[in-house]
A and B are shown apart, each in its own frame.
Chain A
Amino acid sequence: MAAMEILDPTVEPRKQPLTFVPRPDSLTGKRIGLVENTKFNSDKLLAKIGEILKQEYGAAECTMWRKHNSSVPAHQEIIDEAKRGVDVVVAGIGD
């Protein structure tokens, strides 16, 4: 039999509906956004990925954005431009 009770120190995560845009069946003709995190070589790595997506998967064009720095989320300007101008986004860490 329980002689004492203790209180739970954790928080139940607030339920947030998260919806994802369906992944495209094909990259042919798609506009690619590349989010660069400022770390050394991340721009080169993403540019290379962009080239592969164009040459091997038929993507139409690539746009690269640079975050303010590696430890913060993409800023609103990037989000807004991505919504308007691209179909697919690739983000990655560059070190």
Chain B
Amino acid sequence: MTTNLESTRHPVQDLNHAIEFCYQQGWTDGLPVVPPTERAVRAMLEAAALEPQQQVAFITNRQVAVTAEKVAVNAVMAGCLPEYLPVVVAAIEGIADPTWGYHGPATSTGGAAVLMIVNGPIAARLGFNSGDNLFGPGWRANATVGRAVRLVMRNVIGTLPGALDRGTVGHPGKYSYVIAENETESPWPPLHVQRGFAAQQSTVTVLAAEGPHQFYNQLSSTATGVLTSLCDDMKHHGSTNGQPQYVVVLAGEHMRTIANDGWSKADIQKFVFENSQNSLAHLKRVERLAGAVTLEDETTMRPIVPSPEDVLVVAAGGRAGAFSCYIPAWAGGKKSSQGVTKLIPDRRV
């Protein structure tokens, strides 16, 4: 690649100075970054066969063009390996998609992070964790891909905390919030196949999302039992007034219990949709809806999502332990933001 890189160069004395310089410029998420040298940035771009000035995305409300060069600079800073760049690029394409609707979820006091679910062969090839300690630290791909996306949001798009990121409480997923589906052990079709891609394609699904809410059921050996506990938790959690979607992440034990009863993902979606509804009377009594409770409100049910298909079911998490979780999408309603699945092209050169 001979194309010039257009980014401004900053001279620094040594590695430590470079790290501190990045802090001083306000370029980090609070953790130290890897200094983005030209050599590292070029290696990143070459691994993905991307030209530096290629536009990856355009953020309409900010009128910002996100180029491959800037994505690569931030991916280096986040600690990505060069081969991760196509995943970062696809995720950026996703959050720039009008269906994801960048401005709302990136800026809202609701404090959403970008949940990224990686599917397809690339997940295992790049070492994305889909098992133990699913949302926890310890896996470079999970930790740095999400971090790179957040650094692009910060440094390129201007989504700065306190300015254009006004999350009231936010959550730790804003550092990185990346999982893969456990396609090897899952008894069900993976998420990307449900969303219209081929099993051998790789994708990343981006969803504006709250943090994961863990639930447990150590008693039941039936699908109905496990999912009844889930629904009891889901319908009473903090935000039940307009989530466009939820993700339900079923870990090993629960996954096997539910599959042993012969349930498909569609069965799970239908059960969760039907059993996580609240009466209008309840929502009014707990001050989530305005107005006096009427007799009719006692029997008028409000689903937590518009349809069963809006419950995205993902098999992931450790094999042991009767725990799973659900993740509410950001509460802007479907016109504001929905999950978007983007193809990760095989860019190996």
Interface positions of A (Cβ within 8 A of B): 1-11, 13-14, 16, 40, 68-73
Contacts and interface: CB of A to CB of B under 8 A. Distances in A.
Contacts, number: 95
A6 B35 CA distance: 6
Given A40-B290, A71-B332, A73-B61, A5 B38 contact: yes
A8 B72 CA distance: 11
A1 to B, nearest CB: 8
A3 B9 contact: no
Contact of B103 (A1, A14, A68, A73): A73
B11 A72 contact: no
B133 interface: no
B336 A9 contact: no
A68 B155 CA distance: 30
Given A6-B35, A7-B7, A7-B9, 10 more contacts: A2-B13, A4-B18, A7-B5, A8-B10, A9-B70, A10-B25, A16-B63, A69-B336, A71-B101, A71-B104
The 3 A-B residue pairs with the shortest CB-CB distance in the complex, in nearest-first order = A2-B11, A71-B104, A7-B7
A72 B102 CA distance: 10
A56 B172 CA distance: 49
Nearest to B107: A71
Contacts of A71: 101, 103-105, 107-108, 332, 336-337
A3 B37 CA distance: 11
Contact of A3 (B5, B14, B63, B108): B14
Contacts of A70: 332
B64 A69 contact: no
A9 B77 contact: yes
Contacts of A73: 61, 103
Interface string B28-54: 000000011110010000000000000
29 contacts: A3-B13, A4-B13, A4-B37, A5-B11, A6-B9, A6-B12, A6-B21, A6-B35, A7-B5, A7-B41, A8-B8, A8-B9, A8-B10, A9-B70, A9-B77, A10-B155, A11-B65, A11-B66, A11-B70, A11-B155, A11-B156, A14-B65, A69-B332, A69-B333, A70-B332, A71-B105, A72-B101, A72-B104, A73-B103
B10 A5 contact: yes
A10 B27 contact: yes
A30 B290 CA distance: 35
A49 to B, nearest CB: 21
A90 B101 CA distance: 24
B270 to A, nearest CB: 27
Contacts of A40: 290
A4 B63 contact: no
Contact of A9 (B13, B18, B107, B155): B155
Contact of A6 (B18, B61, B63, B64): B18
Given A72-B103, A73-B103, A10 B156 contact: yes
B137 to A, nearest CB: 23
B335 A68 contact: yes
Nearest to B337: A71
B15 to A, nearest CB: 8
Nearest to B110: A71
Contacts of A2: 11-13
B290 A7 contact: no
Contact of B38 (A3, A7, A9): A7
B156 A7 contact: no
B336 A7 contact: no
Scoring B10, B101, B107 by chain A CB atoms within 10 A of each residue's CB, the highest score goes to B10
Contacts of A72: 101, 103-104, 335-336
Interface in B124-146: none
B74 interface: yes
B57 to A, nearest CB: 12
Contacts of B35: 4, 6
A11 B159 CA distance: 12
Nearest to B19: A6
A68 B283 CA distance: 23
